Amino acid sequence: MDQLTLTNPVFVTYAIAAAIMVLKIMLQGWITVARMMANDAGLASPEDLKPGPANRNPRPEQLAPNDDVDRSRRIHRNDLENIPAFLAIGLLFVAIAPPLAAAQWLMYGFVVARLLHTFAYSTAQRHEVRAIFYTVGSLIVIAMAVWVLAAAIPLL
């Protein structure tokens, strides 16, 4: 039976979770841009000091690190360490035809954990809070990868 079509509710679950996570990655780029504009700082390249519509009042100190901008970049980096792996293993998880409820708990659970991780990181919650959401997301990806291996290895 073909799993990777919209007639399969597990694939629909994956499509929704994956699309939300893709939007999350893209949005974080725009949050970095917004923080650079709000702080008028945290620029990354020397040529960004050329005066123009994007920088009406260039000053060398705009190239210095800015914690507000760097925080958004750290969140983005943490997303990149987790979300692409989820996007790949989620598709394979659909292919092994898991129970729908398992897919919904794992995939929507990952989405919620990552959104809460960003919220905790953005608002500088204590390390433990952020670590819990990171852990939930990470364990979900690991669980799906182990599940895929358990389904695929016997087929070798």
57 binds a copy of itself (CB under 8 A): no
Bridge partners of residue 126, in order along the sequence: none
53 binds a copy of itself (CB under 8 A): yes
User: CA-CA distance, 95 to 81, in Å (whole number)?
Assistant: 23
96-135 mask for a copy of itself (x: CB under 8 A)?
x------------------------x--xxxxx--x--x-
Tell me if 14 sits within 8 A of 107, measured CB to CB. yes
CB closer to a copy of itself out of 29 and 101: 29
Provide the 10 A C-beta neighbour count for residue 117: 25
Treating both helix axes as pointing N-terminal to C-terminal, what angle do 100-122 and 9-39 enclose, rounded to 10 degrees?
A: 10
For residue 52, the number of C-alpha atoms closer than 13 Å in the C-beta half-sphere is 5
Binding site for a copy of itself (CB under 8 A): 2-6, 9, 11-12, 15-16, 18-20, 22-23, 25-26, 28-30, 43-48, 50, 52-55, 67, 71, 74, 76, 80-85, 87-89, 91-92, 95-96, 121, 124-128, 131, 134, 138, 141-142, 145-146, 148-149, 151-153, 155-156
